[in-house]
Every structure is written in structure tokens, then in C-alpha cells.
């Protein structure tokens, strides 16, 4: 009876060691970074009822694209239909080119949100500083270390980075070559 109890206890210890080894794998820097990316993708793409969830999570993007679609005059579609254009051709030649400014605004919103990301990496801390974003670094220096000057300089840097990204997007879409 005593050997049976020892065997059961040994199996429990082995089971715990296997679980701890599996957990230790999750704390490796590359895997932790992939876990944060996966959770962010699951958050933004949704796992069930994903279409409704995406529209809820990205409602500003949906409203921006809807406003862009509503600015396209229906007379263009009517003229294309008279000329014999298929729905795909109408989409490719009318809808997409006229929706580019709205898509650019949506892209700017999403990019700025990604640059200023704080919530998901903060709630899923990885080992060390592997999953730390710029916004988390600003918070760490400003709030935790009370280094207000350095934190403010980092915040200005994040603002300048956001402005530069927006400038590059606008310049690319407008086609300015100089």
C-alpha cells in the first residue's frame, strides 16, 4: 500500500514537472512575443461571430469606409452599367479608386493605434522587456521611475513618429515625387 502511495506521489510530481516545463516554454522571449501577437490578432479578428466583432472593435474604420462609399455618386455605376461593365469591373474601376482616400484615413487610424499600443502587451507581460512597446516604456519611465523629463521626451518622440508615418502615407497616396 505504501509503494502504491509513493508511485502515485511520484506521478503527481512528474506531472507537475511536465506542466512547469510547458509553462517555462511559454516564457521564452520569442514565444512570448508570438503569444502577444496572436492574442492581438484574435482580439482584432474575433474568434466567434468575427464579422460583428470586427465591426464592433473597429467601428471607426467601418464608419469611415461607409462614409467613403456613400460619397461615390450612383450615376457613375449607372453609366458603367450602360457601357456593359461587370460588377467586378465597376468595383475595380469606380469603387476602389474613389475609396482610396477613406481607406487612407482608416489605415492612418489603425497604424497610429498600433504605434500607440499599450493595453494588450501590458496585460500579457512577457519575459523581461521582449514585449514592451513604446507606450509601455513611456509609462514605465514617467509613472514608475518618475522621470518626467525623459518620459515627456519619449512622448514627443512618439508624436513625431506618428506624424512622420501619417506624412509618408499622405505623400505616397498623393503621388508626390519631390
How far apart are alpha carbons 42 and 53 in whole angstroms?
Answer: 10
172 grid coordinates = 505616397
Number of domains in the chain: 2
Q: Higher-confidence residue: 130 or 27?
A: 130
Expressed as residue numbers, the domain containing 134 is 117-178
Over the stretch 114-151, which tens digit does the pLDDT of each residue have?
777 777 677 766 666 666 788 888 988 888 888 899 99
Please tell me whether residue 168 adopts helix, strand or coil conformation. Answer: helix
How far apart are alpha carbons 116 and 112 in whole angstroms?
Answer: 6
The verdict on 87 and 142 lying in the same domain is: no
State the pLDDT at residue 160. Answer: 94
Strand extents, DSSP E, the chain: none
How far apart are alpha carbons 101 and 65 in whole angstroms?
Answer: 9
Last residue of a domain, one of 78, 93, 115: 115
The answer to whether residue 48 is domain-embedded is no
Is 0.75 surpassed by the pTM of this model? Answer: no
Amino acid at each position: 500500500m505504501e509503494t502504491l502511495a509513493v508511485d502515485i506521489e511520484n506521478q503527481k510530481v512528474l506531472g507537475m514537472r511536465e506542466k512547469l516545463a510547458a509553462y517555462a516554454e511559454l516564457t521564452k522571449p520569442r514565444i512570448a512575443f508570438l503569444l502577444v501577437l496572436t492574442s492581438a490578432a484574435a482580439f482584432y479578428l474575433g474568434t466567434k461571430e468575427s464579422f460583428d466583432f470586427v465591426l464592433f472593435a473597429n467601428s471607426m474604420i467601418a464608419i469611415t469606409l461607409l462614409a467613403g462609399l456613400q460619397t461615390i455618386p450612383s450615376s457613375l455605376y449607372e453609366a458603367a452599367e450602360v457601357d456593359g461593365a461587370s460588377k467586378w469591373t465597376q468595383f475595380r474601376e469606380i469603387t476602389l479608386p474613389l475609396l482610396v482616400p477613406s481607406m487612407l484615413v482608416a489605415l492612418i487610424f489603425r497604424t497610429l493605434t498600433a504605434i500607440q499600443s499599450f493595453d494588450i502587451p501590458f496585460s500579457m507581460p512577457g519575459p523581461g522587456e521582449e514585449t514592451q512597446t513604446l507606450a509601455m516604456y513611456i509609462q514605465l519611465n514617467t509613472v514608475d521611475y518618475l522621470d518626467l523629463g525623459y518620459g515627456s521626451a519619449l512622448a514627443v518622440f512618439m508624436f513625431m513618429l506618428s506624424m512622420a508615418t501619417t506624412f509618408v502615407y499622405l505623400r505616397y497616396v498623393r503621388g508626390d515625387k519631390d
